[in-house]
Amino acid sequence: MKRIKKHLIALLDVFLTENNRAGFLKKAGMHIGKNVRIRNKCFFDKVRNIELKDGCFVNRGCQFHTGPANGKI
């Protein structure tokens, strides 16, 4: 199920606008603050282990990997 969720997030990235992307990832379990902007083609390994605080900007093509020990970003 985790693989399906990861692939679904990557597939929907093509169709989501910058404003909708943060809302979708928040619903998928990522901790996202207010006024967060996430550009397209970003990869998030484990959305529940990533937190983006208020006003964060993630440029296109960024990759976030949390590592084997379930580390947090």
Domain range list for the chain: 2-64
Query: pTM for the complete prediction?
Result: 0.74
| 38 pLDDT above the threshold of 70 | yes
Say which residue, 66 or 22, is predicted with more confidence.
22
Q: Which helix (H) or strand (E) holds 58?
A: strand 57-58
Partners of 31 in beta bridges:
51
H-helix or E-strand containing 36? none
Q: Which pLDDT belongs to residue 5? A: 67
Other CB atoms within 10 Å distance of the CB of residue 36: 19
Tokens matching residue 40: 């397209």
